[in-house]
Amino acid sequence: MIEGLAPHLIRAGLGFAAGLTLGMIARHGRFCTLGAIEDAVYAGDTKRLRAWGLAIAIAMVGTHLLGTFTDFELSRSIYVSSRFEWAGAVVGGLMFGLGMALVGTCGFGTLLRLGGGDLKALWTFLVIAISAYMAMRGVTGLLRVRLLDPLALNLSPSPSQTIGDLMHLSRAGNRLLVAAIAVGLLAFVLADRAFRRARKLIVTGSAIGALVIVGWWITGVLGQDPFEQRRVESFTFVAPLGETLIYAMLASGVPLDFSVGSVLGVVGGAFAAARIAGDFRWEAPDDVRETKRHLLGAFLMGTGGVAALGCTIGQGVTGVSTLSVGSILAIISILIGARSGLYWLVER
């Protein structure tokens, strides 16, 4: 911990710096999960999907190395609880994926677009933020608690829902499992010759995976206060949008922390990348129909993202890096929802 600074300010400041880097790299490298799905489905081009797989492999290895060589405690993350919220992962994931298709990007992509001057992304940001907070502490949150939470499974005596713990592996066995999965992912990623030649995507995927590790390190090691019982986290972009909006309105009563810093950093990084590339431009919705589609999609992403405990980055990279079965189920549901939404919008 840095002496003289409150832990939450350390986490916020470093979160902003890491988010700034993430926003610049992702916008420059065109890292977009929905775009990757569209490329694969409609163009037979899997390069961007492979970049996503590369990010997962690197984040997975680094996350578990943190637990091996530092005092980082993965058990304090929301992804690995022994309470398996499968219904939220499925229903929320499907909602988030459908919303992502309606908007044309995810929560993270919304921040990248906002940094580039897209005013549609501003509306999307606000609706995701409001609907996420509603799903956490408001009207839709009551529905979530009554309809989805009772369906959760208690996986005790397993200490968590990670694959290694469910298989009752030793520490050495879990490390072998992580290594085997990472090697398999890398073999898939590098099997494509076109991807091996796509240096920008390789750098982008590698950097995003590394920055997820940095996020864990910020909240779980450097910015961790031994007297403060709080969860460890890394990048995710649903609930933090709501927390950023609340902080903007109630800064005197809400402490600045990693989530708010990372959101502001991503927008700032995307803005810098857009200005450097010369593609910053103000954009507005084309018509009422497009605006309605964005508003509905944003509401589905905010509500579904909270139920699923994350987004394509929060569950798809950060969560999957823990080898949580809930995260794996959530990202599969998100992909199915996105593919269904694309079918309804494009093919139907």
pLDDT band at 3 (very low <50, low <70, confident <90, very high): low
Could you tell me where the DSSP H helices lie in the chain?
7-28, 33-43, 47-69, 86-87, 93-103, 107-115, 119-137, 139-147, 163-166, 171-190, 193-197, 199-217, 239-249, 258-277, 288-307, 325-342
Q: Label each residue of 224-256 as H, E or C.
A: CCCCCCCCCCCCCCCHHHHHHHHHHHCCCCCCC
**Cα-only R_g, the chain:** 19
pLDDT band at 5 (very low <50, low <70, confident <90, very high): confident
pLDDT at residue 274 greater than cutoff 80: yes
- What pTM did the predictor assign? 0.95
Percent of the chain with pLDDT over 90: 90
Rounded mean pLDDT of 10-38? 96
pLDDT band at 1 (very low <50, low <70, confident <90, very high): low
pLDDT in tens, 116-166: 999 999 999 999 999 999 999 999 999 999 999 999 999 989 999 999 999
Which DSSP letter does residue 309 get?
T
HSE value, Cβ hemisphere, 13 Å, CA-based, for 19: 28
Instruction: Report whether 33 contacts 106 (CB < 8 A).
Output: yes
pLDDT at residue 252 greater than cutoff 80: no
Position 251 scores a pLDDT of: 85
Which DSSP letter does residue 62 get?
H
The identity of residue 306, as a single letter, is V
Rounded mean pLDDT of 198-225? 95
pLDDT at residue 227 greater than cutoff 90: no
Instruction: Report whether 89 contacts 333 (CB < 8 A).
Output: yes
pLDDT at residue 100 greater than cutoff 80: yes
pLDDT in tens, 72-95: 999 999 999 999 999 999 999 999
The residues spanned by each domain of the chain are: 7-347
Percent of the chain with pLDDT over 70: 99
Residue bearing tokens 């939450």: 8
Alpha carbons 86 and 327: distance in angstroms, whole number: 9
